[in-house]
Structure 1
């Protein structure tokens, strides 16, 4: 059983169009393999060397995972841990997190954290380091451990400048980014609140430093 997971809100696909039947995504050579998850490259860059952050990253507006996916569980656990840290820093429960508390939505739930989680999951499975060198600049699907990695054209053709040597686009992402508006509004509210607090502190300081009127 597979879980097809595009960006969804209130049961509707927001900004992703499927261009080819999902049943056709997996090449014949891999159809009998143990595939736990299918992901596609959003950013496709060279490995930057030991100790550097991951350069190539998997998009998370669409992916496919088996029911009870091992890799997907690692991703969820990683995001939950991030949210717990944010909640702890703001002295609230996870349910109390607001937009203003998030440094950036992408940093908490975006492609980078998803990619790092998958690489850590694959390292546990394969017993070796996994990095950009395993999948950067692929021109056709590649199975790494139990994750089938699709080339940039598959899920993020526009982001990868519409390459012509990687097969056909499987999905078109329309970049609606409905969450961005809420994030911008939240940052503006936070900025206004901080400005008000600075003004109040300034007023308090001025009042406390003013000389008291002389007694009659």
Structure 2
């Protein structure tokens, strides 16, 4: 049974900032230890004249080399097209760990990662057991917040190595990497969209503990609990509710809200529209439409195979879940 009173629980951002106070008391000891470790590191790995270490380290080490997907059955039972799409992520990125969370293993994963500090997240996730779409949306945010890496829907395939996705100048600052799925480009909004620019969540990339994802997760939990409180039971979600509660509209609006808070200025759809190259806003890197949204009939999207394309989305899931969530 869900408890709507859990709305008053501190969110993920509050939980994280609360733990920082304890760490402050250890700063003196850490500083001393750091000095010793730095001295030993300098002896082992000399610094060249340019001020960089002479060993070859991956520049994007803070982005875990993990690929996450979710589906109803395990990877070994996949067949046909889905298997070939899934394998593409492994083949193109052989140095990445791949994990497919199934309907059964997902609950175990969420409990292990969140039950101690955020039991409300576990309760909401398990209460959505009859709605695979909302669970899949929430699960992708939870996995990348906890462990980081790249999430990709099962109806996608990888066309360029993930290590090439982020321009080097953005690697030190980006905590979340997202791509446009729709852009009205300053014109009239299409009838099948309700916002001027939308960020896709069929594929995105994050470091563990991304504060933008923390806000996304809290917004989902709050929205589900409010609907539960109104209905006194878990409602049957319409297609529009899926988009607004866990899907791309919620994802986009939450990230824009986070960026507005982070920058101290109003960040709107116009700030992510008409991109011709990646744009870093605070710690969120927004990619142009063709990075993740190639092959569409809108938003300035080019044909499949263009030089800006990083992956391919086949929109199989869109056709399927819309049937089960009309309206």
TM-score by length of 2: 0.48
Query: CA, structure 1 residues 83+7, in 2 after alignment: closer, same or farther (shift >3 Å)?
Result: farther
Q: Relative to structure 1, is the Cα distance of residues 35 and 151 closer, same or farther in structure 2, using a 3 angstrom cutoff?
A: same
1:172 aligned to 2:309? Answer: no
> Offset at 1:132?
2.2
Query: Which one of 194, 202, 209 corresponds to residue 61 of structure 1?
Result: 202
Q: Is the 8 A contact 2:239 2:322 kept in 1?
A: no
Structure with bigger RCO (C-alpha 8 Å, 6+ apart):
1
Write the mapping of 1:77-92 to structure 2, written as runs, cut at 5 A: 77-92=218-233
Aligned partners of 1:148 and 1:40: how far apart in 2?
8
Q: Does 1:162 align with 2:301?
A: yes
Which whole-Å CA distance do the structure 2 matches of 1:143 and 1:100 have between them? 34
Work out whether 1:17 is the aligned partner of 2:157.
yes
Residue 179 of structure 2 aligns to a residue whose secondary structure is: strand
Output one character per residue of 1:37-63: Cα deviation in whole Å (capped at 9) or x when no partner. 000001112458xxxx74111001111
Check conservation: 1:20, 1:171, Cα contact below 8 A: yes
- Partner residue of 1:193? none
CA distance in 2, matches of 1:8, 1:44: 27
Q: 1:181 Cα deviation (Å)?
A: 3.2
**For 2:263, which of 113, 126, 140 is the aligned residue?**
126
Would the aligned equivalents of 1:16 and 1:171 in 2 still touch at CA under 8 Å?
yes
Over the aligned positions, Cα root-mean-square deviation in angstroms equals 2.6
1:141 pairs with 278, 284, 290, which one? 278
* Aligned mates of 2:315, 2:207 — CA distance in 1: 26
Q: For this pair of structures, how many residues does the alignment match?
A: 175
Aligned-pair CA distance for 1:134: 1.7
Measured in 2, the distance between the counterparts of 1:30 and 1:101 equals 38
Superposition deviation, residue 34 in structure 1: 1.5
| Bigger CA radius of gyration | 1
Q: How far apart, CA to CA, are the structure 1 residues paired with 2:271 and 2:322? A: 32
In terms of fraction of residues, the more helix-rich structure is 2
Q: Which runs of 5+ in 2 are unaligned?
A: 1-61, 73-99, 102-152, 188-193
- Please list every run of 5 or more consecutive structure 1 residues that lacks an aligned counterpart in the other structure: 188-216
Does the 8 Å CA contact 2:228/2:235 hold for their aligned counterparts? no
CA contact (8 A) 2:174 2:283 kept: yes
